[in-house]
Amino acid sequence: MKADPDYQWVEDKIRLNEVSFSEHIVRELLGRRVSLPGIISVLTSGAVIEVHTNPRRKPFHVAVGHECGKPLHVVFSGSGESRLAVLIAYEPTLPQWMDPRTRSKERDGQMQRNEGRCFFCGGVVEPIVVGNFDYRLDGQLHVLKDVPAGLCLQCGEKYISVETARKIDELIATQQPDEQETVSVLRFPLS
């Protein structure tokens, strides 16, 4: 946000390392869908295209920039007096965005009538079947396959219905695993 004095604080926070990343960002980084340099570049040299206010929480800001030639949106909150909170990052695409700076209005109106919205980013949530749904029970990692869910087309957050949650509970309580997989474990180095 080089040219915008209103957002000088964002660069200051990055320089001072007063930045927190949401779990969503951590997942996107681990999944290699975004990179840390990409996020930082949007926050330092991108442009804010939307500010969303809500009486119950701090405003959040949508910034646009580029990562390796692809458009990238980074949603953040915070202020000069608090930390910079980096909330979500995604590539703006149809049906949500006509181009990186323009929301697709027609589709927007249609969605508001028919479908749910993402709690985090306000994106359209559409029904899909999730190939792998990870969860932990008593410290052990389990994977559920082929779970019906809602997927936010914008930020990738997943939602499940109450019925699906009940079925998952039943499955866990009554069924033996269908198969076993090994998982890779990386331990964060202690300093």
Instruction: Using CB under 5 A, list all residues that contact Zn ion.
Output: 118, 120-121, 123, 152, 154-155, 157
Q: Which residues 6+ apart lie within 8 Å of 67 measured at CB? A: 34, 35, 37, 38, 39, 41, 42
* C-beta separation of 61 from 50 below 8 A: yes
- Name which of 14 and 149 has its Cβ closer to Zn ion: 149
In the complex, minimum distance from the CB of residue 13 to Zn ion, in angstroms, rounded to a whole number? 24
Quote the tokens at residue 61.
Answer: 């800001």
In 3-state terms, what secondary structure has residue 66?
Answer: strand
Name the DSSP letter for residue 188: P
Q: Is 56 exposed, middle or buried (0-12, 13-18, 19+ CB in 10 A)?
A: exposed
Minimum gap (Å) between residue 34 Cβ and Zn ion: 14
